[in-house]
Structure 1
Amino acid sequence: MIEARPLPGKKNRSISWRSREGRSVIYQIVAILSALALVALLVRNTLINMRLRGIQSGYDFLLQPFGFDISETMIEYASNSTYLMAFFIGMLNTLKVAVIGIVLATLLGVLVGVGRFSTNFLVRKVCYAYVEFFRNVPVYLQLLIWYLVFTEALPDFDKAWQLGHFYLSKNGVSFPWPVWQLGQTLALCGLVLGCVFTVIYRRQAKAHFDQTGQTRPVWGVSTGVTVALMLLGWLAGGAPAEWNLPKIGDFQIEDGGVFSPEFMALLCGLVFYTASFIAEVVRSGIASVSLGQHEAAASLGLNKGQSMRLVVLPQALRVIIPPLTSQYLNLTKNSSLAVAIGYPELVSIANTTLNQTGRAIEALSIVMLVYLTLSLITSALMNWFNASAAIQER
């Protein structure tokens, strides 16, 4: 008789204490149940103690009017807007500084990290000095210094530094802003469709290269299609071209878009601080690529810029992306320090809500939930990018 065997490629998975895989699953289940039981016990004891002391609890306050002014918002709110709206405004302000900060810190960090390998002595030493200075000065102190710069060192609004229709003063940075109409909305929809097309076309181009060995112009085609979709959306919406231009008023710079001094201080502090760590991440990633890769690129006739862009950086990404994710998370969470300079982000809104309602646990739990969600989303996106950028072995 021939013993029955499982089909190749398939494994009989069973949770058994005798197998290592089974024990690992059992350990995880026990750990999760223990954590849930501990949380339930803490919540129960907290509610009992709060009830005995006459302290109100619950999230019903979120539907009550918040009754305080928010100095900087991305959306309008009314006098009877609820605390839920206040938390949403704070979350949008946090996202605003986090997204812009991540983009700027990445660009600056990559430039400084690559500059550490420059053949120019001055460029190399300036990049080194930048990293050593900004990395070793506490970010909280940097925020205070930038806040003093934007509120004390800059001129008043009536003597603002002007470059075209851009103004820089103690009021912050004022700039032209389009009058939002249907054309801008359709152009934004075209941008989203262009990004979706880029992802699909990039996958098809990669599959075509794997099958035939022939490359397709991915970024040129994707950029052209995205710009065309945005242009079509703008034309379909009536091609609006009206701009809201800032101007010097009686008491401040009026109209146009504006980045407040608090926002600019927070943004500059987080960008310059985080970029110094990103620069070290990029430098270590480039240093991990063997010297033979540089020599191979030079033997193909590539100059140093082409070698860095086409050969070295793609291989260094596998080392760069994991610690880069940590820096993005640090930048997002460090935005909570904005409470020290008066920028109304999530933690600042939560502190004001806590003082008015006395719901400390509820307010802090909302902050924890928002930061946890943002961290998980950032990690998921970076993991996806890491998987797509990984070198596939054959």
Structure 2
Amino acid sequence: MNGFQFDWSGVLTGVPATWLLSGLLNTLLITIVGSVVASVLAILLLLLRTSESRCLRYPAQAVIMAFRNTPLLVQLFFWYFAAYPALPEAFRDWVISDHWFSPLPDGFRFLSPEFICAWLGLSWFTAAFLAEELRAGLQAVSIGQGEAALSQGFSRWKSFRYILLPQAIRNAWQPVVGQYLNLMKLSSLASGIGFAEIIYSTRQIESFNAHAIEAYAIGTLLYLALGVLMGQVFLRFGPGSTIPAAQAGRSAMIAFLRRRSSS
């Protein structure tokens, strides 16, 4: 009886290779777009969460608790089966229309209802965790930093933007990087709503030629390579690898005072 033999050509050539390429491109795209949107939402939630007004602070806290304490797959189902059908019909028609920037290899399209729902789900889910990581980093900043900024003529927004937020990001940079990596890895759950990322492609290959072991092995290696690459890039070029947080806050304050005196 012959032993099991791997057949990598059934995964790395022909149509299966095209599926893997499309899945990789979709995973990269959802990671980049989702990370950008999640960062913006996280800063907005952080501003509301740390507001002195209860009317702003409590709703932000409720939103964070809701997204942090419910399974991501359930949230993806909500966006796909409940929220997306409620969007304006004109927008839904535009999403499924042909666009020059949308096609991927072998007939895949990145702009689709599945992409929109995966993007929304991953962005809000990650933003809720990012907001709490940044809030922890903000709490590590000395209270005197904000008071000194206000006494030197900073508005509350400029104090937050130029003094407090950069230090909060530096203080929480490693956990923040972990959330971006989680977004990339959790994109695999979007296959549950039909989003054609890496896991979706490996399942297609399994159904196509039964090369399940080879397909999932390649899928695992792709996730591993993406994770290692993202981690190295973020840690090498991110703000956590540069000057200390307190020194960054003092530098920002000095630069602001110089600009004000010169004007």
Instruction: Flag the 1:175–1:275 CA change in 2: closer, same or farther, 3 A.
Output: farther
Instruction: Provide the C-alpha distance between the structure 2 equivalents of 1:357 and 1:258, rounded to a whole number of angstroms.
Output: 24
1:176 to partner: Cα distance: 10
Indicate the larger mover: 285-294 or 257-266.
257-266
Q: Provide closer, same or farther for how the CA distance between residues 392 and 284 of structure 1 changes in structure 2, counting only shifts above 3 A.
A: closer
Deviation at 1:379, TM superposition (A): 0.7
Q: How many angstroms apart in 2 are the aligned matches of 1:111 and 1:358?
A: 47
> Corresponding residue for 1:137?
70
Q: Is the 8 A contact 2:11 2:205 kept in 1?
A: no
Letter in 2 for 1:319: N
SS of the equivalent of 2:157 reads helix
Q: Distance in 1 between matches of 2:94 and 2:31?
A: 19
Tell me how far 1:116 sits from its aligned partner.
1.3
Partner of 1:107, secondary structure, is helix
**One-letter amino acid of the counterpart of residue 11, structure 2:** L
In structure 2, what is the equivalent of residue 173 of structure 1?
A: 95
Cα separation, 1, equivalents of 2:193 and 2:19: 19
Residue among 10, 31, 46 paired with 1:61: 10
Indicate if the aligned counterparts of 1:93 and 1:344 stay in contact, CA closer than 8 A: yes
Is residue 336 of structure 1 aligned with residue 188 of structure 2?
Answer: yes
Flag the 1:151–1:121 CA change in 2: closer, same or farther, 3 A.
closer
Which residue in the other structure is 2:229 paired with?
377
Secondary structure at the counterpart of residue 95 of structure 2? strand
Code of the aligned partner of 2:61 = Y
For residues 283 and 392 of structure 1, the distance between their equivalents in structure 2, rounded to whole angstroms, comes to 16
Q: List aligned pairs for 1:231-380, cutoff 5 A.
A: 259-380=111-232
SS in 2 for 1:259: coil
Aligned-partner Cα distance in 1 for 2:232–2:31: 16
Compute the displacement of 1:172 (Å): 6.3
Aligned residue identity for 1:59: W
Name the CA shift for 1:175/1:124 in 2 (closer, same or farther; >3 Å): farther
Corresponding residue for 1:388?
242
1:207 match: none
Indicate yes or no: 2:82 matched with 1:149.
Answer: yes
Question: What secondary structure is seen at the aligned counterpart in 1 of 2:154?
Answer: coil
Distance in 2, Cα, partners of 1:172 & 1:291:
49
TM-score, structure 2 as length reference: 0.82
Is 1:94 the counterpart of 2:43 in the alignment? no
Alignment of 1:43-54 (within 5 A): 51-52=2-3
| Structure 1, unpaired ranges of 5+ | 1-48, 67-82, 162-167, 181-256
Cα deviations by residue, 1:104-127 (Å, 9 ceiling, x for unpaired): 001101110122111232111121
Q: Which has the higher helix share?
A: 2
**Structure 1 pair 361–172 and aligned structure 2 pair: CA distance change class (3 A):** farther
**CA distance in structure 1 between the partners assigned to 2:9 and 2:158 by the alignment:** 59
Distance in 1 between residues matched to 2:220 and 2:189, nearest whole Å: 15
Give the Å deviation of 1:144.
Answer: 0.6
Q: What's the CA shift string for 1:164-183, capped at 9, x where partnerless? A: xxxx12x5636996x68xxx
CA distance in 1, matches of 2:145, 2:21: 49
Aligned length: 239
Matched letter for residue 198 of structure 2: L
Asked if the contact 2:20/2:198 (under 8 Å) is kept, the reply is: yes
- Superposed CA deviations along residues 319-364 of structure 1, whole A, max 9, x for unmatched, are 2211001100111011101221111111011011022222222111
SS of structure 1 residue aligned to 2:196: coil
CA contact (8 A) 2:145 2:164 kept: yes
Change (3 A) 1:152 1:111: closer
- Higher RCO (Cα < 8 Å, 6 or more apart): 2
3-state SS, counterpart of residue 199 of structure 2: helix
User: Is the Cα–Cα contact under 8 Å of residues 135 and 168 in structure 2 kept in the other structure?
Assistant: no
Q: Is the 8 A contact 2:171 2:245 kept in 1?
A: no
**What is the distance in 1 between the residues matched to 2:87 and 2:162?**
42
Give the conservation status (yes or no) of the 8 Å contact 1:114–1:282.
Answer: no
Tell me the amino acid that sits aligned with residue 102 of structure 1: S
**Identity, % of aligned positions:** 34
**Partner of residue 33, structure 1:** none
AA aligned opposite 2:173: I
Structure 1 position 389, deviation (Å):
5.2
Check whether the contact 1:146–1:269 (CA below 8 A) recurs between aligned residues: yes
Q: Distance in 2 between matches of 1:352 and 1:176?
A: 24
Change over 3 Å in CA distance of 1:291–1:391 after alignment to 2: closer
Distance change >3 Å, CA 176–CA 358, structure 1 → 2 = closer
* Inter-CA distance 118–366: structure 2 relative to 1 (3 Å threshold): same
| 1:109 alignment partner AA | A
Root mean square deviation of aligned Cα: 2.6
| TM-aligned CA distance change 1:304 to 1:102, over 3 Å | same
- Distance between the aligned counterparts of 2:159 and 2:207, measured in 1? 57
